[in-house]
Structure 1
Amino acid sequence: NGTEIDACKEQLDAAGTLYTLSMAAALITTLAQGFCFDRLGPRTSAVGASLLTAVSLALFALGLSTSSLNWLVYIAMPLADCAGSLTSMALFGFAWHAPSHQGLIS
């Protein structure tokens, strides 16, 4: 609609910090995600990580909608990012169920 909203420096800094925390958490937990995938298999990993992602995103929404719970965003977003990474990793396990169509799945 042509309306521009300028974010203040504090908001940009907070968003940058949140992004950095989320990416760091996802990278640090990559080895643990691999162990989980190897130990539990793709199906259990995908289901568990999907549920954890859903709960994390619900907490993220709660943190954004309630000003007294804004701190929750700094826990929920990195957790959702880690769980989302495991979900993505687990999807590659399904590619081996249809070897002739691996490019379509992954």
Structure 2
Amino acid sequence: MNDQDVMEDPTNRIVAVFANKDFADAARNDLSDYGIEERQIRILEGKSEADEVDTSAKWFADTDEEMEQFQQQLLAGNTVISVPAKDKASREEIHEILKRHQAYRVTHFGRWVTELMR
């Protein structure tokens, strides 16, 4: 998957919302320190990038509804981050990093299951 397809297919990624881009940038720095390549981390900001989110009903379960929620967050002026998560250990560490930077609506999109992380 190339970086442009991230919000078209969130499979095996964690997507989260931040109230502002500064928090998202700080999270990206920590995620990079953790070992995730910066080119794999996608940050979308505000209304201008809301159209990049694919909300069509083409996935398993309620993925389209979840993606619509992220689109609404962007339309409201918030920032969304998308990060690859290859296994359970990385999912947990990524979740901790995102929460440390005040992320909310942290969601893991697995191959068959979508999970709102708490």
TM-score w.r.t. length of structure 2: 0.25
TM-score w.r.t. length of structure 1: 0.27
The structure with more strand, counted as a fraction of residues: 2
- Specify which structure has the bigger relative contact order, considering alpha-carbon pairs within 8 angstroms and separated by 6 or more residues: 2
The structure with more helix, counted as a fraction of residues: 1
Structure possessing the higher radius of gyration over alpha carbons: 1
